[in-house]
Amino acid sequence: MKTAVIVFPGSNCDSDMFYAIKDGLGEDVSYVWHTETTLDDYDAIMIPGGFSYGDYLRSGAIARFSNIMPAVVKAAKAGKPILGVCNGFQVLLEAGLLPGAMLRNKELKFICQTTPLVVENNNTIFTKEYEDNEVIQVPIAHGEGNYFCDGRTLQQLEENNQVVFKYHSKNPNGSVADIAGIINEQGNVLGMMPHPERAVDDILGNKDGLRLFQSILKHWRESHAAVTS
């Protein structure tokens, strides 16, 4: 599986994502600078965390107009797995690839801590390696993680099982319905505020994030085998 990690000016979790794929998963991975215009060579696309364009206007609002974004939209339409973590989630929202918007944390403070999450939907290409309703520990690190959408959108998200992760026991940022991560209707674009790439090795404290990447790889291997057999 060939994975692209998109890099914008101000991305700062690109190396974490790169090594989660390279060392954690043992798969081929490349950085792709935001001025590039194609992702055709890649099987999976990662949009990492950080402060793209300094979070000016709104987090992700400028990165969303980068040259690489039409290729991200094309990959999304083609059904390739696309994972946006933290600032990556914010970019996906701004690009309209996921519904809703991100507000500043309720307490108006940047929060950096390991946080328990519930796997609300383990029937996705990103979460097959988790148990349903499993509680996992994943770090968060954000100032704008207060996910918001209107009531109708929330109802649709809940009805379609598009809420993939919720905060468990304590909501750190005030997000609607304790949402920590959502997937698109097609099931191939996941945005989440917590950082699974920071939980892929015992030396980082835990490996609960690794199974997310293993799920993507398993899905890719299964669909690849189906195509070639």
Ligand X SMILES: NC(=O)CC[C@H](N)C(=O)O
Q: Which of 24, 49, 84, 181 binds ligand X (CB under 6 A)?
A: 49
Pick the catalytic residue from 27, 94, 129, 197.
197
Q: Is 134 a catalytic residue?
A: no
Residue 141 lies near ligand X (rule: CB under 6 A): yes
Q: Is 86 a catalytic residue?
A: yes
Residue 24 lies near ligand X (rule: CB under 6 A): no
Residue 39 lies near ligand X (rule: CB under 6 A): no
Residue 138 lies near ligand X (rule: CB under 6 A): no
Residue 50 lies near ligand X (rule: CB under 6 A): yes
Q: What angle do CA 217, 192, 72 make, to 5 degrees?
A: 65
SS3 218: helix
Q: Is 224 a catalytic residue?
A: no
What's the chain's Rg over C-alpha atoms? 16
DSSP strand E in 88-208: where? 101-103, 111-119, 135-142, 146-148, 163-167, 179-183, 189-192
Q: Which of 17, 27, 29, 87 binds ligand X (CB under 6 A)?
A: 87
Give the interface with ligand X as residue ranges (CB under 6 A).
13, 49-51, 55, 59, 86-87, 141-145
